[in-house]
Structure 1
């Protein structure tokens, strides 16, 4: 708390009472107003001095990828060892961000290409990402949407929000809407309430999700007024973004308690980052602190191929090692799913250790976390119920309406189901197909 008072004094250039200073410090709007955006401000508050060459490199990076650090998040940095500090690495610019690898992409997940209208990404059949804000409390250096950081031209307008709502209304397959950005919690309470109300009023929307990092970098944003707004929606889920156990402070925990106290389910999405959390012990400590505060570890992401993130990316083998250190060594609900968000818009692909070793017609061979190899015997009498999508006559008694039962499977699911005649998935433009077409022409 003394560090907070010191930082507030630096910003206000005042020696006012501690009560006055703490009132300012805990005001989320004050935090945003006093966000650190210049190297000189960082130097002054932290009491350090970069060399002219180092400062030149930092400013070159800021010119391409702006800096924004909340005073709260800055206060978590270890002044005595700031260059290796995980909070510093996630928030402060590095010249390495200007190293663009040959495999880096501006939009690796094809969010813009998978966008039927501006502001909506529709990749999976039953859910959409709704881009409702382009403002963040802090610019994370590992952000997959670095192409949008600080771009005032891409801030969603009222017309774009209305068009997004219309798209969801007119697409009855959408049952799950993820509000993303930017950070939706950087909208005003009234604006957020308005958008939530519009989405919640759509009959076929069953779930609304919000992705936010404010509990991590701006916990004072979780106000009683915001909780009152969120509490109105009983189909709301919230995912936050903790990457290191150092980020789970008493202040951050208080913000989480307000959310869980309102009955809102919380999940967490971490990104695997080189020299930040690429350690089994760090990740285990993180998931333990999360579940102790009723936050379910949801995803552990392999770092994306966005421009300027090469220095953050690890080998996939490191992620597998971390998953091996969790399965069997901690509670099952404390283990996230390790995924690669496939370049080109392929979606999230689980990349997990192999526990199924082999199988035959009557048994499977499994191994556990200790290396014990065991078998599971198949039942002799099992006969699966063949599905023809005629739910009315099905003995399993799942009564679906025509719209639900008419949904056709795709991918591997299509090959496995009983009612499809497809036996092969064939990529387009195979060389042998082109050769065959050439032969036919002759």
Structure 2
């Protein structure tokens, strides 16, 4: 299948396959792993959860051993090999958890993790040590304590619902969370991060849309890594969210064998925009255990993005970031098109590759530019 085809027709699944696959045996029956792999994969499953939703199953080409959709979701024994640089908590959630379910790293925003279940389990997930089918659902008391923390922390202006996947909550429970957060005067923004619109679009029901209603600014970050994830059902779910007033942003991870080429990233970003999703972040891989096979060197990532600058609209341009270990925050990685030379700048034109000198204006004697003359 071509890298850039967002309109590739999903394969038709028998009724027996139209359920989430959660075991190596189920993957064998679906033809997604060979029968001989089952015993070893059982050992892997004891550590890391498996879930491949019906929608994702329909996007996989089982005849392609390098299928970029399969690579994201089908388990591989390499996941049991932990590299020296990998960490069980690569983004340092634990040290910044004031109450259960809350992570507060940045001054003006905090995460709320109401559950740790997802519609699918990505093989590169940075929370793979804690997410799984048991759900990690906050109890009623724990959820209320987390919401009370937001109400009592006035410097926090933005609540970010993540997990796990907040759209795996029932509309009733999600609606309660949105209403509680909406009633907090100092909160300006509610943001949700989700795979659901592309991995389980059937969950975007009228009840779910009603649960998301709020007078606050509400943003939904859709996690997708390949253009083919924007199939017919996904585009329909995203249209419904857009019509309901939800602002849609795109979040991706740069992944070896999935989107590590200028052609694949261009197709992904164009597919996002066509679905009314603004590319927001392109993440350098978080070094969770067993994920080394997905890592693309930063220099390569910068070169790929440099090749795209000027070739596609600025609307498609995400911020390429590395979430630094220890909770130091997301650092932009470039690429750069300007270098300082003395008091001037040499700025490279994305269209012609030529460098032009950009001289800085002289500093005024008193530190402030003179006022413009009246016109």
- The reply to whether TM is greater than 0.5 is yes
Aligned-partner Cα distance in 2 for 1:202–1:140: 34
Structure with the larger RCO, 1 or 2 (CA within 8 Å, 6+ apart): 2
Instruction: Say yes or no: does 1:103 pair with 2:88.
Output: no
Matches within 5 A, 1:427-438: none
Aligned-partner Cα distance in 1 for 2:338–2:359: 13
Aligned-partner Cα distance in 1 for 2:27–2:135: 27
* Cα displacement string for residues 379-428 of structure 1 (whole angstroms, at most 9, x for unaligned residues): 34756569xxxxxxxx9xxxxxxxxxxxxxxxxxxxxxxxxxxxxxxxxx
Matches within 5 A, 1:4-23: 4=12, 6-8=13-15, 10-11=16-17
Give the aligned partner of residue 349 of structure 2: 368
* Cα displacement string for residues 230-256 of structure 1 (whole angstroms, at most 9, x for unaligned residues): 233441110011100111101111011
Find 1:348's aligned residue among 323, 330, 334.
330
Find 2:24's aligned residue among 21, 27, 39.
39
Matches within 5 A, 1:15-414: 34-46=19-31, 50-52=34-36, 54-81=37-64, 83-150=65-132, 152=134, 154-361=136-343, 363-369=344-350, 370-380=352-362
* Cα displacement string for residues 106-147 of structure 1 (whole angstroms, at most 9, x for unaligned residues): 001111111122211111110001111211111111110011
134-143 or 203-212, which moves further after superposition? 134-143
Aligned-partner Cα distance in 1 for 2:241–2:33: 40
Q: How many residues align?
A: 360
Give the TM-score normalised by the residue count of structure 2: 0.91
Which structure: greater helix fraction?
1
Task: Indicate the SS of the match to 2:103.
Answer: strand
* Cα displacement string for residues 254-289 of structure 1 (whole angstroms, at most 9, x for unaligned residues): 011011111211111101111111111000111011
* Cα displacement string for residues 149-174 of structure 1 (whole angstroms, at most 9, x for unaligned residues): 22738322212211111111111110
Aligned-partner Cα distance in 2 for 1:307–1:127: 27
Deviation above 6 Å: which 4+ runs of structure 1?
A: none
Larger Rg: 1
178-187 or 153-162, which moves further after superposition? 153-162
Task: Indicate the SS of the match to 1:299.
Answer: strand
Give the TM-score normalised by the residue count of structure 1: 0.77
Gaps of 5+ in 2: 1-8
Contact 2:93-2:327 at 8 Å conserved across structures = yes
Task: Indicate the SS of the match to 1:79.
Answer: coil
Aligned-partner Cα distance in 2 for 1:121–1:267: 21
Aligned-partner Cα distance in 1 for 2:215–2:62: 42
Aligned-partner Cα distance in 2 for 1:377–1:95: 55
Q: How far 1:330 moved relative to its partner?
A: 1.0
87-96 or 147-156, which moves further after superposition? 147-156
Aligned-partner Cα distance in 2 for 1:381–1:146: 52
Give the aligned partner of residue 4 of structure 2: none
Q: CA RMSD in A?
A: 2.1
204-213 or 314-323, which moves further after superposition? 314-323
Give the aligned partner of residue 6 of structure 2: none
